[in-house]
Amino acid sequence: MKVVKFGGSSLSSGEQLEKVLKIVLSDSARKIVVVSAPGKRYSDDIKVTDLLISLAQCHLTGENADELFQTVVERYKGIAEELQLSDQIIETIKEDLENLLKADKSRPDRFIDAIKASGEDNNAKLIAAYFQHQGVDAQYVNPKDAGLFVSDEPGHAQVLPESYEQLYKLRERDGILIFPGFFGYTKGGDVLTFSRSGSDITGSILANGIKADLYENFTDVDAVYSVNPNIVENPREIKELTYREMRELSYAGFSVFHDEALIPAFRAGIPVNIKNTNNPSAPGTRVVNERENSNGPVIGIASDKGFCSIYISKYLMNREIGFGRKLLEILEDYGLSYEHIPSGIDDVTLILRQGQIDSETEKQILSQIKHDLNADEVRVEHNLSLIMVVGEGMRHNVGTTARAAKALADTGVNIEMINQGSSEVSMMFGIKEVDETRAVQALYHEFFVPVTV
């Protein structure tokens, strides 16, 4: 039994849904189909989820949103008409959306979450109608009905462990089950969404729930690439990688897969296959528990920009037990997360995403650090990039660090920071943003094939 998930771009039009139907029918093991909301039809298009967020916000502020409402309905309508479905499904969707917009607005985050989630929910209903229209035994399944319960955390709810036992019973239902991604229900009956791109998470949860043999994630690329195709043309595709490698790569900028999504599948040991809706016969990328280390120590290189470093020095800092803790407390007071905190004898550096802080807040933080911790010097450097070199077995492959460092040196990139020693499957370099492209190309060249520039 397989769980198959389709992303927005795979569901953006009637033409795409025809491909989806073909794919689902071509393998009788494909039991549960998890769907996102309709995605972009062309690059300047707006995702339905974004339209719904705007719609919800307009209703909260009391602005007129009739046009926005129509636009949303039109998106479904366009697809339905392309597939020659009856008006019934559009009426159902329209009514559902109207009811949601009339609902209680006293808790705005829940109001918004329910409307966001309707994108997936109504698309699942539409797709079930389409499958039925084509004579396929298919049913829309509501997450509450299936038992997908989540924690009470609007915007980033977590699945509750007891859901899995309930979800297992989906195996007993007949036919193909069309399941909306992205949301679940609290015990109190509220709709809450997972983090953005949470349909990946839904698929993972269902795969674990029904103890699937495979979780297939259909998107719009042939595979996960070893490096960002915007930096290196035609990069090598990754045939197989482990969960840990996928998570490290996702974290640092790969956007194929939402990085938390894998965990439920990982915990149940269910392999994942990333495939292309537009090229379903391509093998795609498999994500597994363990793999053979046959292709060298490095599986992929990810990078992300927009970091800053705050350098703090204080005479005899290393004698002051509690200094590090007090520093982190200041960060916590501002609600900030940090990537890494290289420590010296009399100095320490914080590496953070600079987007968390506007320039006014930055002044306050620097001032507070200097004052509360009695630092001798506090200075900030902006516009750093972090590069993650990822691969199982890198840790025991003596020489990978040297090769990476040499590749960077040879291309004239200065290494501002190295973070190695916690993760067993990755090594992190901090460099100036302006050097990022050159650095990633040099690393790719070192560990994969010559760069095609």
How far is Cα 112 from Cα 129, in angstroms, rounded to an integer? Answer: 26
Does residue 336 belong to the site contacting a second copy (CB under 8 A)? yes
Stretch that binds a second copy, among 106-114, 173-181, 222-230, 421-429 (CB under 8 A): 421-429
Q: Is 169 labeled as ligand-binding?
A: no
Helix axes 359-372, 323-333, angle to 10 degrees: 150
Nearer to a second copy, 173 or 406 (CB): 406
- Cβ at position 340, least distance to a second copy in Å: 5
b/e code 408-439 from CB counts within 10 Å (16+ = b): beeeebeebbebeeebebbbbbbbbeebbeeb
Q: Residues near 202 by Cβ (< 8 Å), separated by ≥ 6?
A: 5, 34, 143, 148, 179, 180, 181, 182, 183, 184, 194
Q: Residues near 332 by Cβ (< 8 Å), separated by ≥ 6?
A: none
Reference 119, options 197, 177, 14; nearest CA is 197
As beta bridge partners, residue 285 has: 274
Near a second copy by CB under 8 A: residue from 92, 278, 295, 423: 423
Does residue 415 belong to the site contacting a second copy (CB under 8 A)? yes
Give the total of residues touching a second copy (CB under 8 A).
Answer: 60
Nearer to a second copy, 21 or 350 (CB): 350
Residues 369-398 that bind a second copy (CB under 8 A): 395-396, 398
- Cβ at position 358, least distance to a second copy in Å: 18
Q: Residues near 44 by Cβ (< 8 Å), separated by ≥ 6?
A: none
Amino acid letter, residue 165 = E
- Cβ at position 424, least distance to a second copy in Å: 8
Nearer to a second copy, 135 or 161 (CB): 161
Stretch that binds a second copy, among 197-205, 216-224, 296-304, 309-317 (CB under 8 A): 309-317
Nearer to a second copy, 226 or 400 (CB): 400
What single string gives the DSSP state of each residue in 202-263?
HHHHHHHHTT-SEEEEEESSSSEESS-TTTSSSPPEESEEEHHHHHHHHHTT--SS-TTTHH
Q: Is 120 labeled as ligand-binding?
A: yes
Stretch that binds a second copy, among 44-52, 281-289, 297-305, 335-343 (CB under 8 A): 335-343
Does residue 135 belong to the site contacting a second copy (CB under 8 A)? no
Rg of the chain, C-alpha, whole Å: 24
Nearer to a second copy, 90 or 272 (CB): 272
Does residue 60 belong to the site contacting a second copy (CB under 8 A)? no
Binding-site residues for ATP, in ranges, read 5-8, 219-220, 225
Query: Which residues contact a second copy (rule: CB under 8 A)?
Result: 247-248, 251, 260, 263, 309, 311, 315-316, 318-319, 321-322, 324-325, 328-329, 331-332, 335-349, 351, 395-396, 398-399, 401-402, 405-406, 408-410, 412-423, 426, 430
